[in-house]
Amino acid sequence: MELVDLKESLEEPAIRKLLALSIEFPTPMQIRRLCETYKSHDSWQILGCKTNDHFSGCIGIQLKGEGSAHIHHLSVMPEKQNHGIRSRMIDEVCKRFSLTHLTAETEGEGVEIYKRCGFEVKNLGEAYLGIDRYFCEKGQAPEPVNA
């Protein structure tokens, strides 16, 4: 498994498909805006899991400061799910960016995915009618630096 920077490949249909898998009810405009966000902000990073010359997953994060990031997008192609790709992408992102603290928000089946990846999960309550939202956290938040 190789994790590669996708910022320069965001126009490719296969990459946009991976990104769309991480969004409930994605629209072309939504995907276009997300791609622009990743391209135009240094703190937003999107990486793809490449195996045998094909992308099987992607992870999109926003770096939040020393050792901390928020996962905005995490997806794996349906035929590649349940092979540990998500947890390997999370581990690799932590190594690459020297992260000790990760957060994410999710709902539905995402809760179990994050739990399996070692995150603690807290229910934030109902976000939409009948749908709860969850805050997921792994590691310790860095201590604030007082100036």
pLDDT, tens only, 17-65? 999 999 888 999 999 999 999 999 999 999 999 888 889 999 999 999 8
Nearest to 31 by CA among 2, 6, 64, 55: 6
* Distances, alpha carbon 146 to alpha carbons 45, 64, 86, 100, 143, in Å: 27, 17, 35, 20, 9
Does 141 score more than 90 pLDDT? no
Q: Over the stretch 64-90, which tens digit does the pLDDT of each residue have?
A: 988 999 999 999 999 999 899 999 999
Q: Which residues contact 19 (CB under 8 A, 6 or more apart)?
A: 10, 26, 31, 34, 35, 46, 58, 60, 73, 75
Residue extents of the structural domains in the chain: 2-101
User: Residue 60's pLDDT is what?
Assistant: 97
* Distance (Å, whole) CA 28 – CA 32: 6
pTM: 0.91
* Distance (Å, whole) CA 22 – CA 58: 9
Residue predicted with more confidence, 120 or 140: 120
Q: How far is CA 13 from the centre of its chain?
A: 19
Nearest to 119 by CA among 140, 95, 143: 140
CATH fold, domain 2-101, is Aminopeptidase (3.40.630)
First to last CA, the chain: 41
Q: Is residue 66 helix, strand or coil? A: coil
User: Residue 125's pLDDT is what?
Assistant: 87
Q: Confidence band (pLDDT; 50, 70, 90) for 98?
A: very high
* Distance (Å, whole) CA 92 – CA 115: 18
